[in-house]
Structure 1
């Protein structure tokens, strides 16, 4: 079904078949509109993230940037593992939770914070064995800041899922904008802390972002959601233990294949190559965030209106593909120019990685669509199988190609693995995409 303009939607809702058609059009418009808002948030975050790392590249030494970026990657990995994938659980179950919303969110926060704190402390204690390049995190004050930043980042990611499930994508944009702007200001102010200023800028900006957002969430948005939803529309289904465990295992596969890459490059190729890799990967990964955001919007709308699941999925596939082709063309053509913002060496060593990683985002559309459909339909074994398969293949190929191609090998590995997964999933699409 093709979407129509906003003017047609504003003429009013007819009764009978015309009214049903108008409601269906509005539903299709909503999945795209909310996806666009989430994508705008990611684009702003990526753009301001590029500004942040450009400022950091000119304010800190290359070795310091490489170590700090790897520390930030470790922080994101631990937060992703520690939040128990509650972000996707919130996206899937808050749309219909009604009066249970506050209790559901509070329980998710408690589980995420406690688990992440334990993991962060354990990581700091085990650094000499697991990542000797991050020994600077063993200083007591720096270790405390790292644990604080990791727990805060887990909440930061989780609250995005809550806002998305509540159909508040505009606030996701604002929250990420505040976080990015504060972080840029702090990385300049804290430049006198040459070894740890980058890490502290993340820790303090996370505290600001989660404080402001949760005042609004618990003081305004969640109470209004509870009052506005009639009891007969409340979804009585709950996130079961089997659902949470399966979704968590799938999320761990994705985290292990993405966030751990800078740490792998740091340990195998050194701090300078880790810096070149990290910033090129950061730019390319913005396209993967587009896919993820459109998939999140698809889950929310499918939870609100299961009857339109096929139309929503097909629209998201077509729409995201068109946007991605434009983004890939720009990144492939302008890769050296974009990376030269960070310095000439970043352009020299990272341009081919950026091109290959950007191309790999195109087949990833099919992977994300299949994963989103599995979450909506609770196809748990297939969900885990998809992400475990594609992430294992990407990681194995990255290890194999790093010694041969350098950091460019990671881009080649991701392109090959995503293309292979997409081909298989499209061939067997009846397993995850229901018929019309």
Structure 2
């Protein structure tokens, strides 16, 4: 019996664990997928309701109004993304190990994000004639005040998703985003009869409702229970240092600029009608990017709770998410005109090629997201910044060039090229970021 056990152990490898431990590891690995699926489901629900929202907006407002309001919403998301100082990723990375310090971490982050965002938004409104003349309607006193407050609130809205994710309360992320989406849908139709800025106001008022709901749950139920939850052996050896925050923030700002500045770029160069066609096609295809981000966030949370299984978690996420992506890309490429016809015939005619190309670009982006997530866990700050800066510089630069040659389709082609180049380089040098990759390569 002993000889037979030894032979079986040699066949499994020197690091093989007994069957009992393998069973425990199986359930631990499944956790990273379960939480990732919940976050992905939240994104799917939000994207589906978002498509309904914009379909109603496209039929309730003129094309020019949709284009301008979408650009205003994109500006709001850009400013909130800059102003929240990338503290969303800090919440995902450090809330799992903060224990009784979680409440203070959240409150300080909320204050820093909302105040910084408000200051940035005031500056943006004052500089609109220089930065984006197409958004001149935001300089009306009432609209300007609403835009500033809504943008500061949106920074908190984004941040609270990171808190809930870090606390392993992913199910509540689904509820919060569902409420946000449903309130938006009701308001965008109701406000169409009152003002041409109804799209923007529907976002602003929905943010207020979502913030009230999520933070009641956080401060009344979830955060008070954080006392004594984190054991000493799972506590991170260091909290969110200034060096970590600055490096991660710098990289994240490049990504934010690459994604949220595009509608404004299209608006300024091709006009509001093309901005509307671009925005809704981009919105549909970008769901696949959210899938990658959701799985990456789950990977970070599980790695913070169980660092020893980081490599196994990452390989599982890569394999599993790749299968989901291939199916999603196939559906979007085949049904692009049918999907966009929800918004109108002009959207299907002008945006189908962009939707297909953006969907394809999500495949190589999976490798990029996995590498960035592991760099955040392992605090590989220099590599993190190199990846983000390179990826986003390529995407923005190529988009600017190809937009002038190919129209909005050029943006999709630019993203395919940028994501593929960066992913190929990362996979070639995967031993630098993927735990255990050098051992597999040697074997």
Counterpart mapping for 1:382-421 below 5 A: 382-421=383-422
Tell me if structure 2 keeps the 8 A contact 1:64–1:194.
no
Tell me if structure 1 keeps the 8 A contact 2:236–2:304.
no
Question: Aligned-pair distance for 1:234?
Answer: 3.8
- Residue 183 of structure 1: aligned partner: 184
Q: What TM-score, normalized by structure 2, do the two folds share?
A: 0.94
The C-alpha deviation readout for 1:186-231, integer Å capped at 9, x for no partner, is 1011112332100000000000000010011011101112243345
Tell me if structure 1 keeps the 8 A contact 2:234–2:305.
no
Give structure 2 stretches of 5+ with no counterpart.
1-16
- Residue 10 of structure 2: aligned partner: none
- Residue 356 of structure 2: aligned partner: 355
Tell me if structure 2 keeps the 8 A contact 1:116–1:150.
yes
The structure having more radius of gyration, on CA atoms, is 2
Is 1:130 the equivalent of 2:121? no
Give structure 1 stretches of 5+ with no counterpart.
1-15
Q: What TM-score, normalized by structure 1, do the two folds share?
A: 0.95
CA distance in 2, matches of 1:97, 1:228: 9
Counterpart mapping for 1:37-436 below 5 A: 37-230=38-231, 233-435=234-436
- Residue 23 of structure 1: aligned partner: 24
Tell me if structure 2 keeps the 8 A contact 1:81–1:116.
yes
SS in 2 for 1:167: coil
Tell me if structure 1 keeps the 8 A contact 2:77–2:154.
yes
Question: Aligned-pair distance for 1:103?
Answer: 0.7
Tell me if structure 2 keeps the 8 A contact 1:374–1:380.
yes
The C-alpha deviation readout for 1:359-406, integer Å capped at 9, x for no partner, is 000000000000001000000010010010011011111111111100
Aligned residue pairs, count:
421
Is 50-59 or 184-193 further displaced after alignment?
A: 184-193
- The root-mean-square deviation of aligned C-alpha atoms, in Å, is 1.1
CA distance in 2, matches of 1:189, 1:139: 21
- Residue 3 of structure 1: aligned partner: none
CA distance in 2, matches of 1:394, 1:264: 13
Is 280-289 or 223-232 further displaced after alignment?
A: 223-232
The C-alpha deviation readout for 1:319-358, integer Å capped at 9, x for no partner, is 0000000000000000000001000000000000000000
Tell me if structure 2 keeps the 8 A contact 1:281–1:357.
yes
Question: Aligned-pair distance for 1:24?
Answer: 1.1
Tell me if structure 1 keeps the 8 A contact 2:336–2:352.
yes
CA distance in 1, matches of 2:196, 2:133: 16
SS in 1 for 2:351: helix
Question: Aligned-pair distance for 1:148?
Answer: 1.3
Tell me if structure 1 keeps the 8 A contact 2:47–2:284.
yes
Question: Aligned-pair distance for 1:434?
Answer: 1.8
- Residue 5 of structure 2: aligned partner: none
- Residue 5 of structure 1: aligned partner: none
Tell me if structure 1 keeps the 8 A contact 2:80–2:154.
yes
